[in-house]
Amino acid sequence: AVFAISFIGLIFDLSSSNETLTPQAIFRNLYEQPDAEHVYVQASDESPTRGTLLISTDGEQAVLRVQQLPDLSSDQTFQLWLIDDAGSKSGGIYQADDQSEVYILIPNERPINTYNTFGMSIEPAGGSPLGDSPSGQRVFAVNVPTDTSSGQ
């Protein structure tokens, strides 16, 4: 019985430690999955911003690695947008101390492939004043593949 309780405790500890992985660590884990979906991210203008969207084999998890983000003033932030047929929803606001490389875990309240696009804009420090849509300059938009295995 002691062994069984210890074993269950070990499994719980391992699963709990998985929840505390950084977006960068999750990106590395997804990168090592042979069937993970890799989607190239390119800014919409002459900006050097680029990156990679990785989607897990099961389509339940995604991480963006974005490089060379534009500089922000102290009263600005980056805001992630989750876009589907019904419109836009904020995926969170982000500060980047080092614009050379940022990792963003995509909120997975629902399957990744139910979104059409993920985008990022530059917004005021508290996020878009419009609430459900960007008000500032678009940094990038990336189409979400519809053939991930989630929800199928």
pLDDT exceeds 90 at position 12: no
pLDDT exceeds 70 at position 31: yes
| pLDDT for the residue 147 | 67
| pLDDT for the residue 57 | 87
Alpha-carbon distance of 56 to 35, in angstroms, equals 8
Residue 49 is given by DSSP the state -
pLDDT exceeds 90 at position 144: yes
pLDDT in tens, 74-108: 999 999 999 999 999 999 999 877 667 899 999 98
pLDDT exceeds 80 at position 14: no
The backbone torsions φ and ψ at residue 102, rounded to the nearest 5 degrees and listed phi first, read -130, 140
Residue percentage of the chain with pLDDT more than 70:
82
Alpha-carbon distance of 143 to 20, in angstroms, equals 28
Q: Which of 38-47, 104-113, 136-145 has the lowest mean pLDDT?
A: 38-47
Q: What is the mean pLDDT of residues 145-151?
A: 61
Compute the mean pLDDT over every residue in the chain, rounded to the nearest whole number.
84
pLDDT range class, residue 116, cuts 50, 70, 90: very high
pLDDT in tens, 34-76: 999 999 998 877 788 999 999 998 889 999 999 999 889 999 9
Alpha-carbon distance of 74 to 76, in angstroms, equals 6
- The pTM score is 0.81
